[in-house]
Amino acid sequence: MNNENEANEQPFPDQKTFGTIQSPRGMHDILPEDQPYWECIRDVVRKEAAAYNFERIDTPILEATPLFTKGVGQGTDIVEKEMYSFKTKGGDALTMRPEGTASVVRAYLEHGMPNRPSPIKLYYIGPFFRHESPQKGRFRQFHQIGFEILNSASPASDAEIIQLTYGLLSKLKIKNITIQISSLGDNESRVPYLEKLRAYLREHAASLPADCKKKLRTRPLAIFDCKEEKALRVAQNAPKIIDNLSKASYTHFKQVLEMLDELELPYNVNPLLVRGLDYYTRTVFEIWKSNDEDGEARNIALGGGGRYDNLIQMLGGPVATPAGGVALGIERLVEMMKSEGVELKNTQKPTVFLAQLGFDAKKRSLKLFDELRKQGIIAVASFDRDSLKSQLKQADRYGVLYTLMLGQKELLDGRIILRDMATGSQEILKLANITKEIKDRLKKH
């Protein structure tokens, strides 16, 4: 086999940035080296969804703006500051979806799902958009997994969602995770409690930062979401809704916790947990990972959710319909998997490399390439390279088991050279039988 045109091979330039146009701030490319993590997550999600009998739903990226102003809440940061909203030439007010639950509820109502046998169990995977300050693990275009159970009031549904979420993270080999859980009560709990909370906040108004004060006029529960030190001190001593639950809400929450105990899931009742959206009722929870960064312990939220028993009626449903769900950010999961050093099984790793010299050999290799693929053998080649030396280097980089080498002479003789990449030994075999030969060797291997 002759080694042709080796001198014409051009070395690949050192990696550097080219061009002047970059992706929009806070919106990122998912590069090939990260795709195995994303595929792993998608695969685990699909398997867990099937195991728990959830069906896939995909909703449009664009929705009518009132869907979120009504459902998520006018006073929330998402609606006031973070939505990408615009009007079309026809005057329609549209928004790039900032979260998934409202869209799922809209689809549930629009397509008559309340008439189907209950509960309805749906899941989604896709991109979402919020105009917030980009930071590590948080982007303006981000991707979420969501699971929703609609038309079920049972505390068992809450426990099932939490169990599914915890199990999913465990299968992704993310360690040191705990469930933070609380209850926001029902309407019977909420009305008297909010009066008590507002009275407390009026007494401590002088201690609150201006930004928090503004939120509290319309959403007093936002005190528990404020991150400033002054607000945190006020929140610590504020009356907690978990201590002011109605009998029905208390019973529901107690039963959820008993089920988590039965499942032996690690949880912490956290009375400061309220979540940031207006539609939550009763059970709310987040999944936290404990992380030690630069010697300082901190908790990272991987996902969260809860009940939204009023949302379906708020968005046009004929009656109050109990429901609940969870959402997890994929970017954050990838970040955690990398930090844990999770090793991924690459089921698509190539096993054969086709090296070829000369036009006729390249032409025949294209056909051989197709023959191997049809037999389920993953093969790779560099048809743009003429140098055998550079092709063998490429085969090493792929980590293949065998390299097949075909030149003009071998083609005329009806032969092909098989190189065992582990030992370096070579054999000359019949070209007509090579696909079967490779298949047999891979079975033995």
Give pLDDT, residue 303: 92
Helix or strand run (H / E) with residue 305: strand 296-307
Residues in the chain where the model's pLDDT stays below 70 = 1-17, 73-77, 80, 137, 214-215, 276-278, 292-297, 346-347
Among 94, 23, 111, which residue's Cα sits nearest to residue 60?
Answer: 94
Q: Which helix (H) or strand (E) holds 313?
A: helix 311-314
> Domains of the chain by range and CATH?
32-186+246-339 (3.30.930.10), 349-444 (3.40.50.800)
Amino acid at the residue 325: G
Q: What's 220's DSSP letter?
A: G
The CA distances from residue 360 to 201, 395, 404, 410, in Å, are 82, 21, 15, 11
State the Cα–Cα distance between residues 346 and 135, nearest whole angstrom. 30
pLDDT number for residue 252: 96
Asked if residue 144 lies in contact with residue 327, where contact means CB atoms within 8 angstroms, the answer is: yes
Residues 401-430 pLDDT 10s: 999 988 888 888 899 999 888 888 899 989
Instruction: Quote the crossing angle between the two packed helices 330-339 and 35-51, to the nearest 10°.
Output: 110
What does each C-alpha distance from 191 to 186, 188, 198, 287 come to in angstroms?
9, 6, 11, 28
d(CA 188, CA 195): 12
Can you tell me the distance from the alpha carbon of 321 to that of 416, in angstroms, rounded to the nearest whole number?
Answer: 68
The CA distances from residue 68 to 138, 167, 328, 389, in Å, are 21, 30, 19, 59
Task: State residue 222's pLDDT score.
Answer: 77
Closest CA to 256 of 275, 282, 279, 276: 282
The 10s digit of each residue's pLDDT in 229-248 is 777 888 888 888 899 999 99
Q: Which DSSP string corresponds to 230-295?
A: HHHHHHHHS--GGGS--HHHHHHHHHHHHHHHHHT--EEE-TT---S-TT-EEEEEEEEEEEEETT
pLDDT of residue 443: 83
d(CA 320, CA 294): 48
